[in-house]
């Protein structure tokens, strides 16, 4: 009997692989048997179409998860061209090459494509109306991905945090090291999303052929103030939190007052909804504690 020929691993490119979501995407996909390439910006400038063409020709991927993005929301207000170069035209370059190789494309988008004036969870096909440059540039990226690649999943998410990169959870814990009182906005409502959960959701989507727009965020909703309360409670820190309004805490870019994302399309695709944000926060702190625990090797 002839020896069986081992099946070739499926290959995936993850842009933004060194960011907080990208780090978990690489780990989750590799754990599911994918051969993952996670080029940093130095290895792949996806705003350069020639560079993207060369990288795709070298790897010939089965899937591309485009998590790389211009995420400096406030800076984008003064850097319109930079935000659109990365989030819109960079996505165009990725989508064109994904289509050339027949690769599945996941474009990670944002709740900021909505204006935030609603009061019920936004559906995947509700009218979009970004309220800032960052949201406009990400929506333009969505349109490029959907029009140029026939195998596209647009995955919108919100309030992302994880062990890697900078995020609200880390900011709160850092501020608590030097402050007894912290002011936090209490009139913006959304859904915190743990990067591990989001990475698992994206990996599950890749196993389907159900292309389209999906919302993937932590279940339930809270204000930033309530999120901060939960963070300090789980961290065992005694910090005085002062609730403030958005008007009292002005920023260059307008934030949506309400950006909770409904997840009907995940259910329609037969996939489980994201777990509740409070359970996910517990899991984050467990992961954080494990990561901070010193490991000692036995001698002798």
Coil/strand/helix, residue 63: strand
pLDDT(297) > 50: no
181 assigned to some structural domain:
no
Residues 6+ away with beta carbon under 8 Å from 268: 210
Q: Is residue 254 part of a domain?
A: no
Q: How many domains does the chain have?
A: 1
The mean pLDDT value for 127-156 works out to 98
The whole-number pLDDT of residue 7 equals: 53
Please name the residue that has the structure tokens 């389907």.
Answer: 208
Measure the CA–CA gap between 33 and 6, rounded to whole angstroms. Answer: 13
Q: Where are the alpha helices (DSSP H) in the chain?
A: 20-31, 49-59, 73-76, 80-84, 90-101, 133-148, 168-175, 195-206, 224-235, 264-268, 277-292
Residue 41 domain flag: yes
pLDDT above 70 coverage of the chain, percent: 95
Q: Residue 8's beta-bridge partner residues?
A: none
Which percentage of the chain shows pLDDT scores above 90? 89
What would the mean pLDDT of 45-57 be, rounded to a whole number? 97
Q: What is the DSSP string of 118-178?
A: -SSPBPTTSPP--SSHHHHHHHHHHHHHHHH-TTEEEEEE-SEE-SSS--HHHHHHHHTTT
Measured between alpha carbons, how far is 141 from 86 in angstroms, rounded to an integer? 9
269 exposure class (CB count in 10 Å sphere: 0-12, 13-18, 19+): middle
User: Catalytic positions, please?
Assistant: 134
- Domain membership of residue 239 (yes or no) is no
Residue 213: which CATH number? 3.40.50.720
Tell me the pLDDT band of 236, cut-offs 50, 70 and 90.
Answer: very high
**Whole-angstrom Cα distance, residue 55 to residue 67?**
16
Q: Is 148 inside any structural domain?
A: yes
Residue 293 CA to residue 245 CA, distance in Å, equals 38
Is a pLDDT exceeding 50 seen at residue 298?
Answer: no
Q: What is the per-residue pLDDT for 5?
A: 42
The answer to whether residue 300 sits within a structural domain is no
How much is the pLDDT for 100? Answer: 98
pLDDT digit string, tens, across residues 171-209:
999 999 999 899 999 999 999 999 999 999 999 999 999
How many other β-carbons are positioned within 10 Å of the β-carbon of residue 283? 13
Inside any domain, residue 247: no
pLDDT in tens, 17-47: 999 999 999 999 999 999 999 998 888 999 9
Q: Which long-range contacts (CB under 8 A, 24 or more apart) does 225-230 make?
A: 225/184, 225/185, 225/186, 226/186, 227/159, 227/168, 227/192, 227/277, 228/168, 228/172, 228/182, 228/184, 230/278, 230/281
Range of 116's domain?
A: 11-167+192-220+259-275
Q: Is residue 110 situated within a structural domain?
A: yes
């Amino acid at each position: 009997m002839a020896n069986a020929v081992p099946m070739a691993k499926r290959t995936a490119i993850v842009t933004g692989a060194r960011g907080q979501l990208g780090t978990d995407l690489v780990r989750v996909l590799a754990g599911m048997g994918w051969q993952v390439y996670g080029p940093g910006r130095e290895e792949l400038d996806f705003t350069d179409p020639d560079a993207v063409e060369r990288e795709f020709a070298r790897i010939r991927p089965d899937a591309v998860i485009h998590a790389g993005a211009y995420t400096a929301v406030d800076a984008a207000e003064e850097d319109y061209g930079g935000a659109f170069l990365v989030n819109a035209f960079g996505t165009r370059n990725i989508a064109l090459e994904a289509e050339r190789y027949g690769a599945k494309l996941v474009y990670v988008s944002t709740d900021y494509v909505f204006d935030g004036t609603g009061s019920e969870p936004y559906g995947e096909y509700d009218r979009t109306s970004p309220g800032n440059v960052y949201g406009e540039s990400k929506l333009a990226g969505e349109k490029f991905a959907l029009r140029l690649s026939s195998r596209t999943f647009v995955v919108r998410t919100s309030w992302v945090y994880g062990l890697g990169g900078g995020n609200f959870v880390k900011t709160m814990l850092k501020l608590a090291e030097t402050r007894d009182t912290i002011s936090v906005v209490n009139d913006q409502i959304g859904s915190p999303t743990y990067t591990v959960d989001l990475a698992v959701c994206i990996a599950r989507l890749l196993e389907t052929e159900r292309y389209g727009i999906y919302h993937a965020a932590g279940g339930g909703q809270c204000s930033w103030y309530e999120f901060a309360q939960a963070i300090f409670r789980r961290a065992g820190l005694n910090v005085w939190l002062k609730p403030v309004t958005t008007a009292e805490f002005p920023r260059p870019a307008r934030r949506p007052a309400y950006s909770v994302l409904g997840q009907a399309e995940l259910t329609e695709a037969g996939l489980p909804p994201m777990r509740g944000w409070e359970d996910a926060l517990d899991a984050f702190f467990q992961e954080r504690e494990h990561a901070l625990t010193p490991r000692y090797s036995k001698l002798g």
